[in-house]
Structure 1
Amino acid sequence: MPAIALLPDHLINQIAAGEVVERPASALKEMLENSLDAGADDIQVQLQQGGIQLIRVSDNGGGIPVAELPLALARHATSKIRQLEDLEQVGTLGFRGEGLASIASVSRLSLTSRAVGADHAWKVEAQGGELSQPEPAALSAGTVVEVHDLYYNTPARRKFLKTEATEYGHCEDTFKRMALAWPQVAFTLSHNGRISWRLPRQSSHQRIAAILGEHFLEDGLSVAAENGMLQLSGLVGSPTQSRAGRDAQYFFVNGRFIRDKLVSHALREAYRDVLHHERHPVYALFFQLPPELVDVNVHPQKSEVKFRDSSAVYRLLKSTVQQILAGTVAGSGHPVTEPGFTPMPPVMTASPAPTAGNGWAAAPRYEQARMPLGVAEAVPNYFAALKPLDDLPQAPPALPAATDAPPLGYALAQLQGIYVLAQNEHGLIVVDMHAAHERILYEKLKSALDQHSVVSQPLLIPASFHATSLEMATASQQSEALSRLGFELAPVSPTHLALRAVPVALQQADSIALARDVLKDLAEVGSSDVLTARRNELLATMACHGAVRANRHLTVPEMNALLREMEATERSGQCNHGRPTWFQLTLADLDKLFLRGQ
C-alpha cells in the first residue's frame, strides 16, 4: 500500500466540488446565495448550453474589496462566521467558505466586483487552480461571477451531465426556488440569449402567482400560524390541484429551500384524508424560526436541516394544514360556518303520494320515511317547489331562481344511477353520489368517535355467520374497541359469531361484510393504541360500506338533502380516497361545447 501523504489543495478542492457542485444548477445555487447574502435586490442570470458552457450571475449587492478578492476564491474563507457560536446560529444562506473555491477548481472562473465607495471595480480569474492578480475592471456596482466550461478539466465527471435541456431544467428549478423565497428581489433569467424569466420586486403572493400560476393563487388556501417562536405562512393547494409528481412542492426555512423527510411526512399526513394515494400536494410554505433552533450544516449542499425541536415543528405543520383543509366544504373554499344556512333534522313524515291522473308518476316520490341516506333535509320548500300545480297538472315543477341557489345548487335529476345533476348560479353541477355520501358518513363517524358517542342500532334478528379462528379471537380480545365503534358481537358457538348491533349510521350496509372487514382491520392492528393511530382507515372502510350505492334511485328531495349535507361537511370536496366528489360545468364551458357565440 502506498504511503500516506497530504493531498494538494487543488485536488482537495476538486474532491469538494464533487459534493458541492453536482451539476450546473448546484453552482448556480451557490452563486445566487452569495448575491443574496451581499444584500442585492436585483440579480441577473445568464446561461449558455444549460449552464455547461456559461453561468453568469450579476448583482447590485455590496461588492467585495479588492484585498479580499483572492480570499473569496480560497478554500474555507468566509465573512459570515468567525467562531463556533456563529455556526450554531447561521443567519446567512452561504457560510461554508468552499462554494466558489470548489467551482473555480472545475471551471474557468472570473470574479469582478466593486465595493461600495470604491473608485472602480477589480477582477480576478481562476483556471486550473491558478489564481491571477487583481486587475482594474469596469463595473458600476455589485459583483459579477462568470463560470465557463464547467468540468473542463475533469472529463470523467462531465460525462455524467445530462442533455442541455435537462441541465437547463435543473437550473431553472433552482432559479424559481430562489425567486420564490425572495420576492423583494428582482430576478432575470436568460438562456442562450433569450429571456426566460423577468420578475420585478413584488409581494409574496404576486411572486407565488408568477412562479406557480394565477390559478394556484386563486384556488390555494392561505396559511398563517405561529407557535411561540415558530411561524408558518404561505399557500397550500386544494386537493384538486394535486399533481402526479412532487415538482410543485416548495418549503423554505428562513429563506432556504429544503427537502426534509420530517416536513414531507407532516404535510403528507395532513393531506391523507383528502388526497388520492398516487397524487402529491402542491404548496409554497415559508417557515421562520430563530437560527439557533435549526442546524443548516448537516448536508454539503445545505438541502437538509435538523430542527432542535422536531416534534413541535411536525405538530405545527400537520395540525395547521389539516385545519385549513378541514375548513373547506364542497362548493366553497370558505369555512363551513359561512354558507348561510343551518342543516335541519331529517324530515321523516311522508307527504301524500301523487296520483297517476295528475301527470306525475304514481310512485311516492316525496316519501321521506324511506330515505336511508342518513342526511338532513335542509330546505323545507323543496316539497313546495316540487308540488304539482293544480292549474297546470302537466307542467314540470319550477326550480327556485339559480341566482338564489346554494353553492351546489338544486337537484335536477339523477344520471345512470351514479351522478346527481344540479343547477347553481354558475351552471351545471355533477356529483358522484356514492363518493359524496361516503365522505359525509366518514366525517360523522369521526366526529362521533371523537365524542365517544357512536350510537348503536340493535338488530331485530341477530345476524349469525361462520367465523375463522382469528375472527373469533379478535371478537373476544377487541370487544371494547368494537363497542366504541358501535358493534356488538358475541360467540354463539365455537365457529360462529352473532352480530347483534351495528352503528346506526351504517344500519343499511351489508352488516356481515362490514363486521368481517372491521374484524380484519382489528386483527391486523393488534392493539387499541395502534387502533387509535389507524382508526381513520377503519372508519373509512365503514363509511364505504354504508354509503349509498350506484343504481340506487334517489328522489329529488333526497338529492337536495345530499347536496346540503355536502355544503356543511368538512373536506366534502373529496371522498375518503381522495377522488373528487363533484365537478362544475359553467355556462361558459357549455357554450364552448355547443359553439354558442362562435
Structure 2
Amino acid sequence: MSDIIQLLPDHVANQIAAGEVVQRPASVVKELLENAIDAGSTNIKLLLKDAGKTLIQVIDNGKGMSTTDARMSFERHATSKIQKAEDLFNLNTKGFRGEALASIAAIAHVELKTKQDSEELGTCIKIEGSKIVSQDFISTSKGTSIAVKNLFYNIPARRNFLKSDTVETRHIIDEFQRVALAHPNIAFLMHHNDNEVYHLKSSNLRKRIVSVFGTKMNEKLVPINEQTDIVGIEGFVAKPEFSKRKRGEQFFFVNDRFIKSSYLNHAVVNAFDGLLEQGSHPSYFLYLTVPANTIDINIHPTKTEIKFDNEKALYAMLRATVKHSLGQYNVAPVLDFNRDANLDTPYHFNSKPKSTATPRISVDPDFNPFKEEANKEIHTPFKREEPKTESWESLYTSVADTEEEKQSELFDNQQEIKTQKTFQIQRKYLLSSIKSGVVLINQSLAHQRILYEDFLESITVKEANSQQLLFPVKISYTSAEIEMIYTIKTELENAGFSFDEFTKDSVTIKGIPVSVTESKITIILEELLSDIDLEVPDANYSHFDVMAKSFAKTLSIKTGTQLSEREQEGLVNDLFSCKEPNVSPFGKPTFKTLTLNEIDNLFNS
C-alpha cells in the first residue's frame, strides 16, 4: 500500500493558519494595530473601506523594519518578540505567535512600506496570496504602512460568510476601542470610507474614555485605585444609576491587554450588590497590573483569555476595591460602627407632626343593669360597631357568579373557534374560551408579534406615517454609534424617522413614527443599536427585520401592565389577524391552547 501522509504546501498551510488567526476584517485590524504598538509608535492611523472588505490600512510612526526584517515578517512563525519557550511566561508585547502577517498575506493583497530612522530609503513589498509580487526600495517616512486589500479574495466561501458592512464595522470599532483604551498615551485616528470616526489625542485614562464614549461619560465615572503586592488596580466604574440592560461598556485590561473574564466580571457585579435594578449590568473600565510571570496568555488564539496563578485572591481584592470606591464616593451606603443603632429613625417615619386620632366611645343613656332582660343577655354601656358583612357577602356572590359564567362559557360549543370574554391573569396572561377549550395568551409576546408585523409592513410595503416634533430632539452618541445610525439612516427614514442634523457626537431628530412617543426615542435607538450587534444574517431585508423586531420589543406591552376589557379583546383580535400569530418575532410561542379533554384529565388523574 502506498504512503498517503504528505506535507502540506506552504500556501495551503498558511490558508489553514489564516482560518485561526483571521475570522473577519476586525481580526486583521487587531493584529496590525498591536504590531504598530509593539513598534513603539506614538501616532497610529487606521483607514478602512467597505468595512475592511476592500481596504484595511494601518500607518504608524514606529521604529520600522530593515529590508531583511520586512521580508522575514511574512514567514510563518517569524517574530522578534520571543526567542525561547520560557519567554512565553514573561511577555510584555502584544503579538508573539509569528503567524499574523503570514496568515493575512495568504488570503489578501498586501502592500508593506517600511523604513527605519537610520536608513535613507525604505522597503516596499507587495504580496498576493503568499506570493511575493515585487520588492523595491522607496522613499518613505519613518515607520510602517501596511495595506490589506480584497480580504478573502481567493477564498470566496469565507468571504460569503461575512456579515453586513454595519455588523463588520461594529466589530472593527470594538477592536479599535479596546486597543485605544489600553493605550491612552498613543494618538489614534480612524477613517471609514473617507469619514472620520475617531480622532483621539494622546491623553490620560479618563480623557481617553470620555473621547471614545462621549462627553456625557465624564459624569458617570467613579475612580478606582488600589495597589498591592499581588495586583495593582486602577480605572473607573460607572455609577449604578447609569447601568445598562446590555453588557456593553465592560472592559478588563491586564498589563495593557484587553481580556474577557466571567470570573472577574462576577467580582465586579458582586461589589454592586443591592445597587442595581434586576437585569441591569454595570459599566466599568478596569486596568489590572500583575507580574508577567503570574499569568499565561497563550491559552487562546485571540489571546483574550488569561489564566491567573491566584484567581481567588484577585477576585477578593477586585470586589473589595470596587465596593470601597463606591462607598468612598457616596455611591453606596457605608456602615458606621460608631453609630448608636437605638437612635436610628425608622424608614417609614415622617418628620412632619402627626395628629393622633382619639378613640371614639359612644354611651347608651338608656342602659339599666336592673332590667329583667339583663339576665338574658350581657349588656355594656359601650356600643361596639359590628363589622359590616355586606361587602364580604357580595364578594363571595360575585366570585360564585363569575365561576358560573366561566363554566357556562367553558362548555359553550355553539360557535366556531372565536375569542370570547377574556380574563387577565397576574397582569401577564390573557385567558379566553374557544370552542375546543381555552387559550392562554402571553400579552407581551402577543403584542410583539402584532407590532412586528405592523412595523415590517410600514417599513417595506406602505409609506410610513411620520409625526413632526414641535421641538427637535438632540441625542448624544459615541462616534461609533453615530456611524451605525448613519449607515441605516435610509431604513429609519422609511420607518417614519426624520433627521435634521448629524454631528460627530449627536443626532438631531425632527420627526418620529406615529406609533412612537417622544419619550421612547432614545430607548428605541439604543435597543436598535444593541440588536444590530447580534449579527443578524446578511440579507436584503436584514436591517428592516432587525428594526421591526427592535421596535416591537421596545414598545410592546410589558408584563405587569393592567389591561382593560376593551384592550384585552383588541389584543386578542389583533393577534389572530396576524400572518403568524402563533410565535413572537423571536420564535417564542405567543399562546397555548388547552382542550376540554386535557382540562378533564387534570381532574381525573
State whether residues 344 and 376 of structure 1, in contact with CA within 8 Å, keep that contact through their aligned partners in structure 2: no
Q: Counterpart of 2:283?
A: 282
Q: Counterpart of 1:374?
A: 346
Secondary structure (helix, strand or coil) at the match of 1:171 reads helix
Q: Counterpart of 2:114?
A: 113
State whether residues 198 and 212 of structure 2, in contact with CA within 8 Å, keep that contact through their aligned partners in structure 1: no
State whether residues 127 and 134 of structure 2, in contact with CA within 8 Å, keep that contact through their aligned partners in structure 1: no
- In the TM superposition, what is the alpha-carbon distance from 1:226 to its structure 2 partner? 2.2
- In the TM superposition, what is the alpha-carbon distance from 1:150 to its structure 2 partner? 0.5
- In the TM superposition, what is the alpha-carbon distance from 1:327 to its structure 2 partner? 4.2
- 1:143-542 → structure 2 map (5 Å cutoff): 143-327=144-328, 329=330, 333=331, 346=343, 374-375=346-347
Q: Counterpart of 1:42?
A: 43
State whether residues 70 and 131 of structure 1, in contact with CA within 8 Å, keep that contact through their aligned partners in structure 2: no
Residues 275 and 97 of structure 1: is their aligned pair in 2 closer, same or farther, counting only changes over 3 Å? same
Secondary structure (helix, strand or coil) at the match of 1:69 reads helix
Per-residue Cα deviation, 1:79-107 (whole angstroms, up to 9, x for no partner): 00001221111110111111111111111
Amino acid at match of 1:65: S
Secondary structure (helix, strand or coil) at the match of 2:321 reads helix
- In the TM superposition, what is the alpha-carbon distance from 1:272 to its structure 2 partner? 3.3
- In the TM superposition, what is the alpha-carbon distance from 1:126 to its structure 2 partner? 1.2
- In the TM superposition, what is the alpha-carbon distance from 1:270 to its structure 2 partner? 2.3
Residues 262 and 193 of structure 1: is their aligned pair in 2 closer, same or farther, counting only changes over 3 Å? same
Amino acid at match of 2:258: F
Secondary structure (helix, strand or coil) at the match of 1:134 reads strand
Q: Counterpart of 1:563?
A: none
Secondary structure (helix, strand or coil) at the match of 1:202 reads coil
Per-residue Cα deviation, 1:175-200 (whole angstroms, up to 9, x for no partner): 11111111100000000011111011
CA distance in 1, matches of 2:57, 2:297: 26
State whether residues 187 and 199 of structure 1, in contact with CA within 8 Å, keep that contact through their aligned partners in structure 2: yes
State whether residues 326 and 332 of structure 2, in contact with CA within 8 Å, keep that contact through their aligned partners in structure 1: no
Q: Counterpart of 1:440?
A: none
- In the TM superposition, what is the alpha-carbon distance from 1:346 to its structure 2 partner? 4.7
- In the TM superposition, what is the alpha-carbon distance from 1:42 to its structure 2 partner? 0.2
Percent sequence identity is 37
State whether residues 220 and 236 of structure 1, in contact with CA within 8 Å, keep that contact through their aligned partners in structure 2: yes
Amino acid at match of 2:58: V
CA distance in 1, matches of 2:149, 2:69: 22
CA distance in 2, matches of 1:19, 1:122: 29
- In the TM superposition, what is the alpha-carbon distance from 1:8 to its structure 2 partner? 1.3
Q: Counterpart of 1:22?
A: 23
State whether residues 270 and 319 of structure 2, in contact with CA within 8 Å, keep that contact through their aligned partners in structure 1: yes
State whether residues 66 and 134 of structure 1, in contact with CA within 8 Å, keep that contact through their aligned partners in structure 2: no
Q: Which range is displaced more, 22-31 or 171-180? A: 171-180
- In the TM superposition, what is the alpha-carbon distance from 1:239 to its structure 2 partner? 1.5
State whether residues 259 and 305 of structure 2, in contact with CA within 8 Å, keep that contact through their aligned partners in structure 1: yes
Residues 5 and 344 of structure 1: is their aligned pair in 2 closer, same or farther, counting only changes over 3 Å? closer
Per-residue Cα deviation, 1:61-80 (whole angstroms, up to 9, x for no partner): 00001111111111100000
Q: Counterpart of 1:69?
A: 70
Residues 130 and 324 of structure 1: is their aligned pair in 2 closer, same or farther, counting only changes over 3 Å? same
State whether residues 275 and 332 of structure 2, in contact with CA within 8 Å, keep that contact through their aligned partners in structure 1: no
Per-residue Cα deviation, 1:331-386 (whole angstroms, up to 9, x for no partner): xx487599xx9888559xxxxxxxxxxxxxxxxxxxxxxxxx73497x9xx56xx6
Amino acid at match of 1:240: E
Amino acid at match of 2:99: E
Per-residue Cα deviation, 1:250-269 (whole angstroms, up to 9, x for no partner): 11111111112222222232
CA distance in 2, matches of 1:94, 1:283: 25
CA distance in 2, matches of 1:64, 1:199: 26
Q: Counterpart of 1:104?
A: 105
Per-residue Cα deviation, 1:421-476 (whole angstroms, up to 9, x for no partner): xxxxxxxxxxxxxxxxxxxxxxxxxxxxxxxxxxxxxxxxxxxxxxxxxxxxxxxx
State whether residues 212 and 248 of structure 1, in contact with CA within 8 Å, keep that contact through their aligned partners in structure 2: no
Amino acid at match of 2:346: G
Gaps of 5+ in 2: 356-518, 520-605
Q: Counterpart of 1:578?
A: none
Determine whether 1:142 maps to 2:114: no
CA distance in 1, matches of 2:296, 2:117: 32
Determine whether 1:122 maps to 2:94: no
Would you identify which runs of 4 or more consecutive aligned residues in structure 1 move more than 6 Å? 341-344
- In the TM superposition, what is the alpha-carbon distance from 1:213 to its structure 2 partner? 2.9
State whether residues 108 and 129 of structure 2, in contact with CA within 8 Å, keep that contact through their aligned partners in structure 1: yes
| TM-score normalised over the length of structure 1 | 0.56
CA distance in 2, matches of 1:28, 1:67: 24
Residues 147 and 343 of structure 1: is their aligned pair in 2 closer, same or farther, counting only changes over 3 Å? farther
- In the TM superposition, what is the alpha-carbon distance from 1:237 to its structure 2 partner? 1.0
CA distance in 2, matches of 1:320, 1:258: 19
CA distance in 2, matches of 1:328, 1:343: 23
CA distance in 1, matches of 2:248, 2:11: 36
Q: Which range is displaced more, 254-263 or 73-82? A: 254-263
Q: Which range is displaced more, 126-135 or 168-177? A: 126-135
- In the TM superposition, what is the alpha-carbon distance from 1:271 to its structure 2 partner? 2.5
State whether residues 345 and 376 of structure 1, in contact with CA within 8 Å, keep that contact through their aligned partners in structure 2: no
Q: Counterpart of 1:462?
A: none
Secondary structure (helix, strand or coil) at the match of 1:281 reads coil
**Largest Rg, 1 or 2:** 2
CA distance in 2, matches of 1:202, 1:115: 27
CA distance in 1, matches of 2:114, 2:332: 51
Q: Counterpart of 1:56?
A: 57
- In the TM superposition, what is the alpha-carbon distance from 1:153 to its structure 2 partner? 0.5
Amino acid at match of 1:128: G
State whether residues 108 and 153 of structure 2, in contact with CA within 8 Å, keep that contact through their aligned partners in structure 1: yes
CA distance in 2, matches of 1:281, 1:324: 14
CA distance in 2, matches of 1:83, 1:133: 32
Amino acid at match of 1:208: I
State whether residues 258 and 305 of structure 1, in contact with CA within 8 Å, keep that contact through their aligned partners in structure 2: yes
- 1:6-17 → structure 2 map (5 Å cutoff): 6-17=7-18
Per-residue Cα deviation, 1:12-35 (whole angstroms, up to 9, x for no partner): 111111111111001100000000
Per-residue Cα deviation, 1:1-52 (whole angstroms, up to 9, x for no partner): 9811111111111111111111100110000000000000100000000011
Q: Counterpart of 1:433?
A: none
Amino acid at match of 1:165: T
Determine whether 1:4 maps to 2:5: yes
| TM-score normalised over the length of structure 2 | 0.55
Q: Counterpart of 1:391?
A: none
CA distance in 2, matches of 1:30, 1:328: 39
CA distance in 1, matches of 2:312, 2:343: 43
CA distance in 2, matches of 1:103, 1:149: 11
CA distance in 2, matches of 1:272, 1:165: 36
CA distance in 2, matches of 1:336, 1:260: 28
Q: Counterpart of 1:94?
A: 95
CA distance in 2, matches of 1:155, 1:345: 75
Q: In angstroms, what is the RMSD of aligned CA positions?
A: 2.7
CA distance in 1, matches of 2:61, 2:168: 26
CA distance in 2, matches of 1:44, 1:163: 24
State whether residues 255 and 288 of structure 2, in contact with CA within 8 Å, keep that contact through their aligned partners in structure 1: yes
